[in-house]
Structure formats: C-alpha cells, structure tokens
Amino acid sequence: MRASLAAGFLAFGVCGAFGQPAAPAPAFEVASVKVNADANGGRAIRRDAITPSPAGVTMIGVSLKAVVQWAYHMQAIQVTGPGWIDTGRYDIIAKAAGPVPVNQLREMAQTLLAERFKLTLHRETKEMPAYIVTVAKGGHKLKQSEGEGEMEVKPSGNRMAASFTHVTLAQLSEMISSPLQGVVVDETGLKGSWDFTLDALGFAMTQPTGVDDVITMVIQAVNEQLGIKIDQKRVPAEVLIVDHAEKVPVEN
C-alpha cells in the first residue's frame, strides 16, 4: 500500500513538473541594437565600452565577442568563433523593467544575443595558460575606494601610465587577462573596490621580442607597484565556442 502511495505521489510530481510551462528567459523590456555607424568610417571610437547600471546596460562600439564575453562573464581568451566576431562593431542600449543586479543583466544579455544575433554556442573544457593572482608577501599597495562609483581609468603622466578608481579585483583580473593571454584567477581575497596608479614605462622593453616580453612586463609592474603577485600555470578551463551568429542583427 505504501509503495502504491509513493508511486502515486511520484507520478503526480512528474506529471506536475512536465505540465508546468517553462519560465521565460530573463529579457530586457526594451533594447536598441544597431551596427556602429563609425565602425568603418575612420573615426576613432572607444572600443568595447560596456556600462551597466541597475536600470540596464549601454554598449558602444562593441564587438560581438565582447558582448558574449560580458554576458557569460568570461575572459577574452575563453570566447572563440568566426574571426568577424572580434571586428564587427555594434551599439546596444538595453533597459530593464526595473532595477536589477548585474548578474541578471548578464542573463538578459544572453537572451538578447539569441534573439537579435541568432547566437548559438556550446561549451568545451580546454587546457590553457592561467595566472593565479594573490597578495604579495609584503602586502598590497592598493587604496580602498571612497564612496560608490563605477570603474574609471584616466591617463596619468606618460602614455604607459594610468590612474584607476573604483576597481574590483575581479575587474583588475579581467583587464590583465588580455595582455597576459590567459585565464586570470583572483585568489587575493580582497573585497570591495580600490584605487591605484600603474605605470609600465619603467618595465617596457626597448626592443620587445614578443608576447613573453609583454607578459614579463605586466607581471613585474603589477608586483612592484600594486603588491600583487601573479603566478603562471596551465589549468583546464571552460571556453565558449560560437557556432553561429548573424553579422546584421535584428534591430529595434
């Protein structure tokens, strides 16, 4: 009898589960998606400018790769596909129905990519260079940011120096992942946002011989000026492979 009851409840639960409609994918209330007007016009534009806010996200002059990278919270090396996804430029202005956290904005952006660019992709695990970021033995040299604000980067002094404000360690890891050409893992344990200045001029090679020189320069500058240690190793990491996307998106 008990077995029959259990089986009945199980069948009821299964039927209920299959009978319920799937929850709709998170989506923006309104979104404008256009090919960037200056992409081929010769004008200098700020590339891959992505500015999220509680009400939505604004992306100006972005490559499709940058949008995928942001939407799925991946680093550049973890997204691959046809060559044009890194060269075509788009302007996207998307608004949510109300204030939402950034993680939900990313999910909404995934829905937008599928609807407007007809994006399809799959995930694979691949061994690749990785960089583990920790606080150096002598302690870090970062200054805790005051108040709230978005990350801001301004030129400072020479062409290889910049001042950074309201930067989280996750954002710092994402920034250095491109010159390091590897996945960057933050294991500093530092929370909140930070201010600092980084000047790579003193570490620049007079005649750099390639990528290895750039990597050495970044590691040394970050270590000596920020008190942040970077160790390299190879690890299995998840990558996104873009299988299909339309160059001309569905617009408004």
For the stretch 114-125, pLDDT in tens is 999 999 999 999
120 vs 128, higher pLDDT: 120
Task: For tokens 């109300």, name the residue.
Answer: 98
Q: What is the mean pLDDT of the chain?
A: 84
The sheet with strand 120-135 has its strands ordered as 79-80, 228-244, 120-135, 183-186
The token duo for 74 is 């991946």
Query: CB–CB of 131/230 below 8 Å?
Result: yes
Indicate whether 251 pLDDT > 60. yes
> What is the band of 13 on the pLDDT scale with cuts at 50, 70, 90?
very low
Indicate whether 107 pLDDT > 50. yes
Domain positions in the chain are 30-117, 127-236
For the chain, state the CA radius of gyration.
Answer: 22
Considering the entire predicted model, what is its pTM?
Answer: 0.71
Distances (CA, A) of 238 to 69, 175, 203: 12, 19, 32
| Nearest residue to 221 (alpha-carbon basis) of 206, 204, 209, 245 | 204
> What is the band of 97 on the pLDDT scale with cuts at 50, 70, 90?
very high
For the chain, how far is it from start to end, CA to CA, in angstroms? 60
41 vs 67, higher pLDDT: 67
| pLDDT at position 242 | 97
- The conformation of residue 115, written as its DSSP 8-state character, comes to H
